A and B are shown apart, each in its own frame.
Chain A
Amino acid sequence: MSNSDDIVTTSNGLGYTSNSAAHPESLVKPPMAPTAGEDTIEIKIEFGGGLHLLFSSQPSHKINVPRNIANSEDGQPQPVNMRYLVKWMKSNLLSEREEMFGDGDGVRPGILVLINDADWELEGELEYELRDRDEVVFISTLHGG
C-alpha cells in the first residue's frame, strides 16, 4: 500500500491536510494552458515543507506560460515575470483557499520563494523576468524536531 509516492504526497511538515490529500481520486489535473509553442516558455514549479498540499498534493508541476505579456500600464509587450506566474498559479493551480498562499500580488510572509535555488529577493521578486526552463520553488518553514 505505502510506497514512496505516498510519502511524497501525503506526508508533510504542516499541521493541516488538504481534502485532495485525503482523496487522491478527486485530484484535478492542472491545466497546461497555454499549450507549448514558440511563444511560450516552460517553467518548473516545486513545493516543499508541505505546501504541495495547497496545489492538488502534487509536489512538482511543469507549466507553460506566454513568453511575453502586456504591460499593465501601457499595454506594450514585456517579458513574463513572477507577478504573472503567482497570479496564474492562484487562478489555475491553487486547490485550496487563496489566503493560504497569496498576499496581495505576492505570497504570504512565511513562504519562501526560490528562483533557480536563490531566494527571490536576490532576483527581483515579483519583477523577475522568467526565462525558459526556470525552476521556481515555494517552501514553508518546519518547526518539528
Chain B
Amino acid sequence: MDTQIEASTSTLPPVEEVPLSLDEYIRYGRQMIMPGFGLPAQLRLKNAKVAVVGAGGLGCPTLQYLAASGVGTIAIFDHDTVSLSNLHRQILHTTDRVGMNKAESACITLSANNPSVNLIPHPVPITPSTAISLLQPYSILVDCTDRPLTRYLLSDASVRLGMTLVSGAAISSAGQWAVYGGSTRAGKRRACYRCIWPSVLPGSGGKCEEEGVWGVVTGLVGTGMAGEVIKLITGKEDQEPLLHLHHLCSNPLIRTIRMKGPSPKCIACGPSATITDDLDVYGYESFCAGAMGPEVDEETGLVEGREGERINVKELSVLLSSDSQISLVDTRPPVEYGICSLPGSINIPLPSILKDTSSIPPTDEVIFLCRRGNDSQIAAEALRKISGEKRIRDVKGGLRAWSREIDPEFPVY
C-alpha cells in the first residue's frame, strides 16, 4: 500500500512547506502582488509584534489597517469605555457596545475582519511604573493617545526599550504624525519625540471633548500612522525622518517636512540623558501641568465663589418661572448656542464679555450660564469688577446640570 502511494505521488514535485495558509494567499494577494512587497513583506507582517496604545479616534483607523494587512500580533491598550459621543470617529466600536471597554470592543471588530491575527486586549492604563514591563514584548509602539502625559511617557519608554515609536495627534481640523526613535535602514538614528518637542506649550492639551474634532481628520491621521507601521515592518520606511502635518482645509492637504536628527541635549536619548528605566521618578504630572487647563469640580467651579454668587439649576428654574426682570446670558460660542439653548436666554460669548461688557443688557440682575458652569463663572467675575450695584450670579454645572436635574429632554452634547 505504502509503496503504491509513494509511487503515485513521486511524479509530482515535492511540496515545500508553505509559510501561509491557502486562505492567506487569497486574503493578502492584492497587497502581495505589488512590486517590492511579495511574500517576504507579508511574512514580516505576520511575525511582527506591535503595541497600540489608545483605541479611540486615532487607534481605530490604525488598528483597522494593521489587523487587516496581517500584522501577526497586536496588543491594544485602553482602559476607557465606549461612549455614544465616540462613535462619529471611533469607527471600530458600535452602538450596542457603548459601555464596553474600548480595547475589548476593538478586538471584536478586528477579529471579525481577520481572525488569524493574535489580538491581545489590555483594559488597563499605562503608567510610569508599568510602561516598561507592559511594552517590553513588542518591537513597534504606536501612540494613539490624547494627552501630553502619555505621549512623553510612551516616548521615554520606547527610548528605554529601543523601540521605534509611531506617534500621531489630531484635534479640531488639524493633525500630525511621525516616526520617532530607532534608526533608519541607513543606520541613522532618529530624533525621539522629546528631541523634537522638548517642552509642552501651555494650552496645547486641548481635548476633543471641548474643542471638537472631525472624524475624517482622526481617520486620515490614523491611516497615515498605520502606513508608517507597515512601512517600518516591511523595511520600506522613509530614508530620512519626516513629520506630516495635516489640516482639512489646507492646500496641500498634507505638508511633509524633514525633521532634524536627535538632539544632543535630549534628556531621554541624548548623551547626558537623565531619564532612566525608573520612569516613576520623572515627574510627568508636573512636566505636563501647563498643558491642560485646571481640573474643575462642577460644584465648586473654577473658584470657590462667595455666598450668593452662584445658584443651582433648581434655583434657576424657579427664577425663570417668576416674572422678575433678569437677563439670562449664555456665554457659550455661537456655534454651541445654535445647537441648543434655554428659551429667553441671550448669547454673548465669553471672549466678547471679557473684551467689552456693554453688550450685556442693563437689567438689575444678570445670570450667566454656559455648558458646564466654568466660563459663566469667569463672565460673572468680570462683570462684577466693573458694575458693583448689579446682582450678578452664575449657574453651577451649567446646561449639563439643567438637563440632568430639570429637563431630561434638553440635549447634552
- A-side residues, CB < 8 A to B, are 2, 4, 7-8, 11-17, 19, 21-23, 48-50, 59, 108-112, 114, 117-119, 121-122, 137, 139-145
A24 to chain B, nearest CB (A): 11
- B-side residues, CB < 8 A to A, are 54, 56-59, 144-148, 151, 168-176, 196-201, 203-208, 210-213, 218, 243, 245, 247-250, 255-260, 291-293, 335, 349, 351-352, 354-355
Known contacts A48-B174, A50-B204; 10 further A-B pairs (Cβ under 8 A): A8-B250, A11-B172, A13-B169, A14-B203, A17-B351, A49-B204, A50-B172, A59-B250, A112-B243, A119-B259
Contact A143 B57, CB 8 Å, known A15-B292, A22-B351, A119-B260: no
Measured between beta carbons, the chain B residues less than 8 angstroms from A145 are 54, 56-59, 144-146, 168-171, 208, 218
Measured between beta carbons, the chain B residues less than 8 angstroms from A117 are 255-258
Contact A110 B247 (CB under 8 A): no
Contact B197 A110 (CB under 8 A): yes
Which residue of A is nearest B196, CB measured?
A112
B167 to chain A, nearest CB (A): 10
Contact B174 A110 (CB under 8 A): no
Which residue of A is nearest B59, CB measured?
A145
Measured between beta carbons, the chain B residues less than 8 angstroms from A13 are 169, 171-172, 174, 204, 206, 211
10 closest residue pairs by CB, A with B: A144-B171, A22-B351, A145-B146, A15-B203, A142-B169, A119-B260, A15-B206, A110-B201, A121-B260, A16-B203
Contact A144 B247, CB 8 Å, known A110-B204, A119-B259: no
Measured between beta carbons, the chain A residues less than 8 angstroms from B203 are 14-16
Contact B349 A141 (CB under 8 A): no
Measured between beta carbons, the chain B residues less than 8 angstroms from A144 are 57, 146, 169-172, 206-208, 211, 213
Contact B260 A143 (CB under 8 A): no
Contact A23 B174, CB 8 Å, known A15-B204, A117-B255: no
Measured between beta carbons, the chain A residues less than 8 angstroms from B196 are 112, 119
Contact A141 B206, CB 8 Å, known A117-B257, A118-B257: no
Measured between beta carbons, the chain B residues less than 8 angstroms from A14 are 201, 203-204, 206
